[in-house]
Amino acid sequence: MNTIYLDHAATTRVLPEAAQAALRVMTQDYGNPSSLHHLGVQAAKEVAGHRAEVAAALGCKPEEIYFTSCGTEGDNWAISLAVHLGRHKGKHIITTAVEHAAVLEPCKALELQGYEVTYLHPDATGHIRTEDLEAALRPDTVLVSMMLVNNETGAIQPVAEAAQVLKRHKSAALLHCDAVQGFLKLPFTPKGLGADLLTVSGHKIGGMKGVGALYIRSGLRAVPLLRGGGQEKGLRSGTEATPQIAAFAAACTAGHQALDQHREYLSGLKAYTLEKLQAEVPGLVVVSQGDAPHILAISLPGYPSQVVVRYLSDKGICLSSGSACHKGKASHVYASMNLSKAVRDGMLRISFGPENTREEIDALAEALHSATKELISMGR
Ligand code: PLP
């Protein structure tokens, strides 16, 4: 059975050039970048080159890139860093109700330590309103954390506008952006967004799992996340994950070069999907067309998502009922959008990659159509 993979927001297949880069580093240039012998010197040189590649894809300086183990680590670090730097200014944080758990959970932990967190709620289309941020901003706000692209709806959030609000109010709050789902899907730079801190992850862009990066604007006095041997300029000790970093850099370079082409292709494929599914799947509701080119949220009211996901999986089609991290739990993102229970229970997230084809979408439409005939509806 051929697999039709439509779950690229959960993770991606490693690109051949990224896999080759990792293999070379694992089997040939395997030195520890801190070692003084030639293999170590070579490894250190390579990490420096890979940092420059990631920085080029992100449009920032290499010295503003700190390698992490994943997007979750970058989000956690950004939040702890921002509250540490703002510790004499206040204990108020603003974020959104639709952030990934990697932002929401550290915020919840800070609430237990006496921080007050304002969660901005989206409108019915999943978008955060800048006016709500403006109303929530206080003199003691030390951090605003807003994602660039929502992982379940594809909604692009007004990060650059949020930066303008902070500037207008002369706020000392730092702006963190979780750009895990926007990186190499949309053209942006941290500077253009006005972000002080920005998170990306390797496995969402054709790199390996186990690597990501945190952008820390130069000029910010960062504090260490991990203390030890002093890697990452003393801020994140631990031997560099050189194979993952090499793969990440290769995926960044490939994705950066193909960004415009991929955007156009994915937008066309999404338009085709919408048209096809709306024409061929009775009862289908389009919940979010997603501003980002790779995410589309639909629902089959009456057909529980988990049942449909398994039904499609049996036919070789992989998609998800929302964030992979929920593992079947109800999504806080869809819950915050005022959707009816039947629509929420039937949610399906389709997330595209450049290798998906129209033939695969035809197969999806056919499988969803047969799901509505073969599965028992729970009513709308
Ligand atoms: N932020 C967003 C928006 C995500 O979609 C994800 C992963 O799904 C993460 C953060 C966490 O990234 P990682 O899986 O690399 O920890």
Which residue's alpha carbon is nearest to atom 10 within ligand 1? Answer: 71
Q: Which atom of ligand 1 is nearest to the CA of 151?
A: 5
Query: How far apart (Å, rounded) are the C-alpha atoms in residues 184 and 193?
Result: 15
Give 159's pLDDT tier (boundaries 50, 70, 90).
very high
pLDDT in tens, 8-56: 999 999 999 999 999 999 999 999 999 999 999 999 999 999 999 999 9
pLDDT reported for residue 253: 98
Q: What's the 262 CA to ligand 1 centre distance in angstroms?
A: 21
Residue ranges around ligand 1 (CB below 6 Å): 70-72, 75, 100, 102, 147, 151, 178, 180-181, 201, 203, 212, 323, 325
Q: What's the 102 CA to ligand 1 centre distance in angstroms?
A: 7
Query: How far apart (Å, rounded) are the C-alpha atoms in residues 327 and 373?
Result: 26
pTM above 0.95, yes or no: yes
- Which of 91, 108, 112 is CA-nearest to residue 99? 108
- Which of 347, 326, 318, 368 is CA-nearest to residue 5? 318
Give 324's pLDDT tier (boundaries 50, 70, 90).
low
Q: Which atom of ligand 1 is nearest to the CA of 203?
A: 15
pLDDT in tens, 162-178: 999 999 999 999 999 99
Q: Which residues pair with 330 in a beta bridge?
A: none
pLDDT at residue 225 is higher than 70: yes
Which residue's alpha carbon is nearest to atom 12 within ligand 1? Answer: 71
- Which of 26, 17, 51, 6 is CA-nearest to residue 233? 51
pLDDT reported for residue 380: 58
Exposed, middle or buried: residue 5 (CB in 10 Å: 0-12, 13-18, 19+)?
A: buried
pLDDT at residue 139 is higher than 90: yes
Q: Check the CA dihedral 25-28-33-34 and report its sign.
A: positive
DSSP H helical segments within the chain, as ranges?
16-27, 38-58, 71-85, 101-112, 130-136, 159-168, 190-193, 242-257, 259-280, 305-314, 332-335, 341-345, 358-374
pLDDT reported for residue 327: 60
Catalytic residues: 325
Q: Which of 12, 180, 181 to mutate to test the pocket of ligand 1 (most atoms within 8 A of CB)?
A: 180
Residue that has been written with the tokens 């509505």 in this structure: 372
Q: Residues with Cβ < 8 Å from 117, sequence gap 6 or more?
A: 92, 93, 94, 95, 107, 108, 110, 111
pLDDT reported for residue 376: 75
